[in-house]
Amino acid sequence: MLQRFSAAKQAGFQGVEILFPYDVAAPDLRRAARSSGMDIVLINCPPPNWAGGPRGFAAVPELRDRFRRDFERSVRVAEALSARHLHVMSGKAEGHEAMSCLIENLRWATARAPHLSLTIEPMNEIDMPGYFLSDFETAADVIDAVSAPNLGLQFDAYQAHMITGDVLGTWERYRTRVHHIQIAGCPGRHEPREGEIDYLAFFNALDAAQYPGWVAAEYTPRTTTEAGLRWMRQSRGAEM
* Bridge-based pairing state of the strands 151-156 and 178-183: parallel
Please check whether residue 70 is in contact with residue 60, taking contact to mean a CB–CB distance below 8 angstroms.
no
Task: Respond yes or no: is residue 218 known to be catalytic.
Answer: yes
Write down the catalytic residue from 94, 97, 137, 218: 218
Write down the catalytic residue from 121, 125, 196, 239: 121
Q: Which three-class secondary structure state does DSSP give residue 43?
A: strand
Task: Respond yes or no: is residue 62 known to be catalytic.
Answer: no
Q: Which residues pair with 86 in a beta bridge?
A: 43, 118
Give the number of residues written for the chain: 240
With CA atoms as reference, report the closest residue to 157 among 118, 206, 223, 119: 206
Tell me: cis bond preceding 129? Omega within 30 of 0 counts. no
Q: Which residues pair with 216 in a beta bridge?
A: 182
Which residues have a catalytic role annotated?
Answer: 121, 218
